[in-house]
Amino acid sequence: MNKEEYNTSYLYSFLPSNAKGVNELAELALDLQWSWNHAADEIWNRLDPQLWELTHNPWVILQTVSRDRLEKNLADPDFLQKINTLVEEKESEYKAPAWFQKNHDNSLLTCIAYFSMEFMLSEALPIYVGGLGNVAGDQLKSASDLGVPVVAVGLLYQQGYFRQAIDKYGNQQAMFPFNDPGQLPVTPLRLPNGEWLRLKIWLGGYNVWLRTWKVQVGRATLYLLDSNDAVNLPMHRGITSEVYGGGPDMRIKQEIVLGIGGWKLLEALGIKPEVCHMNEGHAAFLILERANSFMKENGVSFEVALAVTRAGNLFTTHTAVAAGFDHFSKELMEEYFSDFAKDELGVDLKNILALGRLNRDNNSERFNMAYLAIRGSGSVNGVSRLHGKVSRHLFQNLFPRWPKEEVPVGHVTNGVHMPSWDAEIADKIWTEACGKDRWKGGLENLEEKINKLSDETLWQLRNQCRNNLVAYTRKRLEEQVSVAGQPQEIVDIAKHVFNADTLTLGFARRFVPYKRPNLLLHDKERFIRLLTNREHPVQLVIAGKAPPSDESGKALIREWVEFIQQYNLYNHVVFLSDYDMLLTEHLVQGADVWVNTPRRPWEACGTSGMKVLVNGGINLSELDGWWAEAYTPEVGWALGDEEEHGEDPEWDAAEAESLYNILETQIVPEFYGRNNSGIPERWIQRMRKSMATLTPQFSANRTVREYTENYYLPAAANYLKRAAGKGAVGKEIADEQHELENKWNEIKIADVKSTSVENGYSFTASIFLNGIDKDKILVELYAAAKDGMNTEHIKMNEQQSNGNEQLFFAKITTKRTATDYTVRVIPNYESISVPLENNLILWQH
């Protein structure tokens, strides 16, 4: 059954009125395009300004508003015309060809399924924790802008992530309010007869029913699953209660629901993606279910099905330390996959366990979801250039005897969806300079156009954004300290904190030790002098949550609160609680400088600093993640020496000293150094360069186009090639894999000779192939990077054959010595990715 056949006529039947225009309002409210296209904001604000300010959720407003008020507004011809115009514009935009249709309309790619444990799309849909969800949400929005054919799959959590309160002693309190699906901008998926689409999966000896939901995200669609079905046992109804909740047993259930349940949902909807993109390894069980589906449909073995389907799978890792990968005990895997392996895949469980182990035969090794993702994918990437390098180190053991630089992990640096994070004035300035469609196609000429903006315009942008943040901080802090039971004098102070003309720093992070959120507190007296300088004061807004069970993270929060209280710094430092998407928007729009202090290389990418770019904010950050490739002295300030120092307290002290020095000698003087017109010329120069060069480069527009052209399109073509003829190519790949594995250890490299020729060498190597077809291997000369010279791979061609022994030859021009070069043999058949799909390698002794 095709997804378009699902009945949606029931959706609006319970709204307070059926007056003309209500269905159109509902259509607007249920399309999360409103979260970045603010054309409809005035409609929701008119219906209920107080509720709109509190929730930013049009669907709640539409269900809550009284019939009288709704019908009174709909009776206004101008109001009704505004609604109709918005609906018409939306439909016209979706029908028009976008970037993908204009550039890749004849491609074989028709659908990408994007799997993620969390999606940060709006504060109205709290199914996210932080960075991973931010990436998923922003990429989905950019896919919509660009017309890239993405459907996304996730979980609908009853509680989501915890909500944070800070008590008067600085202690983090965690609360788990219930997400009422009826008040979220989601709709149930229903069959044509009105029945709710529910899926059944087998989970550790029980049938578990999954409810299904739909979220419209512009042109893109997000499908969500939850287990809170009345027919399920209580222990199963809570599987989707909390994002990343519980221990290993809860985690494996959630990941089965996401991966296996997610693929089953796509099948039920008649969606057949060529490409599946796993945003982290949480969804890696979909590899098994996708192969299972291909097996059943084409009557092939699991091994052949995996060889076919892995070509269409992409794994993006966000983890910078080995401990960050999900892994499960043999006992848990037996509980949930023994029957699945035998009854569905027709293999022994040990075959499945081998996919998730470093040593396939080590029965005590835990099952690693990242290993499964790698062994079930046709491509793997990290999320920044540096993270790609870190990931190659993390996964090197999966590719024994291969040089680290050839470990098959590329990188696509994350970007953020700029329309979701720009302030109203920033949007206006960018639109006037670059056009309203600037983020919907290529990003050519943006730098040139931003460079034409006047200094006055850019300084107005910063002043207004900072002023808005000050007003928001006062209002939010007043409510925060009132709820915490602080004395009235503190409540009164909260109403007047900060100054709209003062240099404003922003710092918002997960409060965990490796982020070093308290580096600024290393020398408290020096920091206080910096903050309270009468002529050139500084103010700092901080936000962040510690994981509920992380006492060290909670202590870091408490240290900040106690610092503010002890030194009476309420007018200079504010800690705002309950860090969420709405708070993030205000912080990244208002901060003059965004501060980031992680321990390198533990920040895989980081995206919060990218969000300030569009608003004219400037970064002061450790040379880690995205900033390691973004930084130049013209666009911001950097900490660190591009080396790793672990948890060395002496290095932390040195970096704290550097942080104070940069603030005191560069940032503060530049901000307060004004010309006769009151404009800080050096500051504006740096701000302009950052906006012009970094904003396009670190937008999700660039990221999604890069994924599309470098990963999705090749993956779709490769998958379809392997799937043709009921997986004929997949069968050839499996057969050739077996042949090489059986014969590889008897290959011999012998009699390697080099002869000096003009400007280089001539090499010959005699190789005994043990009956292997020479067209299924590649003989190379390899030279490692050395003394400024790059790594070299030079193909050796067959010169002559003597039965089972082949003579290979290569002539090279080089300044290296002959001893730099080593002969090696690697697999080379059916366009497989080596060493990702076959890591055999033989080196000259």
- The answer to whether residue 2 scores a pLDDT higher than 70 is no
Residue 578 and residue 172: Cα distance in Å, rounded? 10
Contact 387, 601 (CB under 8 A): yes
Q: Of how many residues is the chain composed?
A: 845
pLDDT digits (tens, 9 = 90+) for 68-121: 999 999 999 999 999 999 999 999 999 999 999 999 999 999 999 999 999 999
| DSSP, residue by residue, 721-784 | HHHHHHHHHHHHHHHHHHHHHHHGGG-EEEEEEEEEETTEEEEEEEEE-TT--GGGEEEEEEE-
Within 10 angstroms of residue 360's Cβ, the number of other Cβ atoms is 14
Whole-angstrom CA distances from 285 to 87, 257, 258, 330, 364 are 39, 9, 8, 15, 21
- Please give the average per-residue pLDDT across 157-183, as a whole number: 92
Which range among 51-55, 668-672, 705-709 shows the weakest confidence by mean pLDDT? 51-55
- The answer to whether residue 8 scores a pLDDT higher than 60 is no
So what's the pLDDT on residue 11?
A: 52
| Closest C-alpha to 469, from 340, 387, 589, 565 | 589
Q: Indicate the Cα dihedral angle 284, 287, 290, 294, nearest 10°.
A: 180
Domain 418-424+452-698: CATH architecture, name and number where available = 3-Layer(aba) Sandwich (3.40)
* More confident call, 698 vs 204: 698
Confidence of residue 6 (pLDDT cuts 50, 70, 90): very low
Which tokens sit at 490? Answer: 């503190």
Residue 212 and residue 221: Cα distance in Å, rounded? 13
Angle at 435 between CA 431 and CA 438, to 5 degrees: 100
Instruction: Identify the sign of the CA torsion 197, 201, 203, 206.
Output: positive
- The answer to whether residue 10 scores a pLDDT higher than 80 is no
| Closest C-alpha to 638, from 608, 615, 659, 616 | 659
- The answer to whether residue 394 scores a pLDDT higher than 80 is yes
Confidence of residue 14 (pLDDT cuts 50, 70, 90): low
pLDDT digits (tens, 9 = 90+) for 291-343: 999 999 999 999 999 999 999 999 999 999 998 999 999 999 999 999 999 99
- The answer to whether residue 384 scores a pLDDT higher than 80 is yes
Burial class (CB in 10 A: 0-12, 13-18, 19+), 323: exposed
* More confident call, 761 vs 17: 761
- The answer to whether residue 164 scores a pLDDT higher than 60 is yes
So what's the pLDDT on residue 510?
A: 92
pLDDT digits (tens, 9 = 90+) for 108-142: 999 999 999 999 999 999 999 989 999 999 999 99
Residue 831 and residue 125: Cα distance in Å, rounded? 43
Q: What type of residue sits at position 801?
A: S
Omega of the bond prior to 234 within 30 degrees of 0, cis? no
So what's the pLDDT on residue 3?
A: 42
Residue 501 and residue 539: Cα distance in Å, rounded? 10
Rounded to 5 degrees, what are φ and ψ at 252? Answer: -65, -35
For residue 534, the cross-strand partners are none
Task: Provide the CATH number for the domain formed by 747-843 in this structure.
Answer: 2.60.40
Confidence of residue 800 (pLDDT cuts 50, 70, 90): confident
So what's the pLDDT on residue 4?
A: 41
| DSSP, residue by residue, 54-107 | HH--HHHHHHHS-HHHHHHHHTSHHHHHHHHHHHHHHHHHHHS--HHHHHHTTS
In three-state secondary structure terms, 478 is: helix
Which tokens sit at 625? Answer: 């993640």
Confidence of residue 431 (pLDDT cuts 50, 70, 90): very high
So what's the pLDDT on residue 652?
A: 96
Q: Which fold has domain 104-157+210-411?
A: Rossmann fold (3.40.50)
> Which pTM does this prediction carry?
0.95
Fold agreement (104-157+210-411, 747-843): no
Residue 824 and residue 719: Cα distance in Å, rounded? 29
Rounded to 5 degrees, what are φ and ψ at 552? Answer: -65, -40
Residue 658 and residue 187: Cα distance in Å, rounded? 52
Indicate the domain borders of the chain: 3-95, 104-157+210-411, 418-424+452-698, 747-843
Contact 98, 707 (CB under 8 A): no
Angle at 483 between CA 480 and CA 487, to 5 degrees: 90
Contact 517, 507 (CB under 8 A): yes
Contact 461, 469 (CB under 8 A): no
Confidence of residue 7 (pLDDT cuts 50, 70, 90): very low
Residue 609 and residue 706: Cα distance in Å, rounded? 21
- The answer to whether residue 742 scores a pLDDT higher than 50 is yes
Residues 6+ apart with CB under 8 A from 544: 507, 508, 509, 510, 511, 517, 557, 579
Residue 630 and residue 622: Cα distance in Å, rounded? 11
So what's the pLDDT on residue 12?
A: 52
Confidence of residue 54 (pLDDT cuts 50, 70, 90): confident
- The answer to whether residue 432 scores a pLDDT higher than 90 is yes
Q: Tell me the pLDDT of the chain averaged across its residues.
A: 95
